[in-house]
Amino acid sequence: MPGTDGAMASRYFLVSRSRTLTPTIARQQFEMTLMSRAEKRQGKPTDVYFRLFGPKVKQFDGESFNHSIRRGKFTSPHSRCSPIICIPSEQININGKTLVTFTIDGCQRLSPSSQLALGHDAPVEAADWLLEKVQLKCLNTGITQTFWCKKWFPFCDNKERKKVVGPQYTVLMPKRTPDANWRVEVYTSNLAGAGTSARVYATLYGDRGRSDELWLNETLASNKNALFQQDSCSIFKLNLPSIGSPYKMRIRHDATGPSPNWHLEKVVLQHLPTKKTYLFVCDKWLESENAEESVVYEMPAFGLDIAHPASVRTYRVTVATGQQSVENLDSNVHINIFGSMGDTGIRSLRKKGAFSRGKVPFFFTYFIFAALRLIWFRTFYQVSIPS
C-alpha cells in the first residue's frame, strides 16, 4: 500500500510449527445488575434477552436482533459480539435490583462494550415494567459500564411457548457477589516528578493463563487518594480468573495528561485466599518523549514458591524497509512478539524517519520472552509531502 495516505496495514509472521494467532478470548466473565420498577404490582415478567457488542462494533440491526429472538437463533453471527443470552423471568426482580453472572467463550474482547441490545419474545408489546438501567462489570478487565436503557417490557401472558430451535444461553444467579482475590500495591518512587497523570494498565501472566489488560482506576482502588502520585502506594483489589502461579506482570500507561512520565518503583501482589505474596521490581522511568525508553515494561515475579524467576532481557529489533517503499514515510509502527512465556504486548517502534525507503533501523526493547513463536507487525502509513 505505498503511496496511500492514512492506510492501515498489519501482518502476522509465523515461526515454523507455530499456531495461527486467534483474536478470541477463552472465558470472559461478567456480572450484570438490572435496575427495574413496575407500574403494576402484580404480574410475571417476560424473559429478557440481551447481546453484547465489542468495542469496535458501530452498527446494530435491531430488527435482525428481534427476529433472531423469535426464531431462537441465539448463536453469535461473528466473534465481535456475544450470543443472545436469556435472563429467565423467575430471576428478575421487577421492583429493585437483579444481579446475574454469565461467561462468554470464543468471542473477541467484549469489554468495554460499545452497545447492549435488549429484547423479549412476548407476542404483545405492553408497558408493564421498566428496565431503567443496566450495570455491566467485566471480571477479566475490571471495567464497569452503565447503560441507561429506559426500556419497557410486558408481563408474561402465561401461554405455552414454542420450543426454541437453537441452544439456549442463560445467566446464573450468583450465591454472593464474588470477593476480590488479589491485592495489588503499586509503589511510585520518591524521585522528583515521579508521579503520572496518565491511565495505568496491568496484565498478569501465570502458569495456568493470563488476565486481560486491567485499567487500574479509582473504581478498583481501596484508598480513594489520587493515584500514582510521587512517593505513594496505590492499592487495588481485583477479582481475576485463575492464572496459577504468576511469573510476570506487564505494566504500561497511555501517555495522557499534563505529566505522563512515571517512575515506577515496584508492584507487590498478594493472593488473598492463600496469602502468597509476589514482588515485581521496576525502578525505571516509563516515558514517551525519549525514544530510548518506553511507556511499557515487563517485570518478573519473585516469591517463595518461585524457584527460578524469569529475567528481563534486552533485545535488538531490526526492521528493513524495502526500496519500493514510499520515500517520505513517517509511520507509526507497532510490534507484538509471542513466545513460550506469553506475548510482549503491543510495542511502538519510534524513531523519526526510521522507515523511509532503504532504511534499516534497529531498536532496543526489554521484555520477558523465551522461545519465539510468532511476530505481529502493524503500521499506519503517514506520507509526508515535501513543501
Q: How far apart are the first and last CA of the chain?
A: 23
Grid cell listed for 47: 424473559
In the block, cell 436482533 appears at: 65
**pTM: predicted TM-score of the whole model, two decimal places:** 0.53
Distance between CA atoms of 328 and 193, rounded to whole angstroms? 37
Cell of 318: 531490526
pLDDT digits (tens, 9 = 90+) for 80-90: 999 999 998 88
pLDDT (tens digit, 9 = 90+) per residue, 149-206?
A: 888 888 876 555 554 555 667 777 665 545 678 999 999 999 999 999 998 999 998 8
Q: Which residues of the chain have pLDDT under 70?
A: 1-23, 39-42, 157-168, 173-179, 224, 289-293, 315, 319-332, 339-340, 342, 344, 346, 348-387
User: Do residues 234 and 223 touch, judged by C-beta distance below 8 A?
Assistant: yes
Q: Which three cell numbers stand for residue 52?
A: 453484547
Closest C-alpha to 310, from 332, 335, 278: 278
Set out the domains of the chain in order of their start, with CATH numbers.
28-170 (2.60.60.20), 179-310 (2.60.60.20), 312-387 (2.60.40)
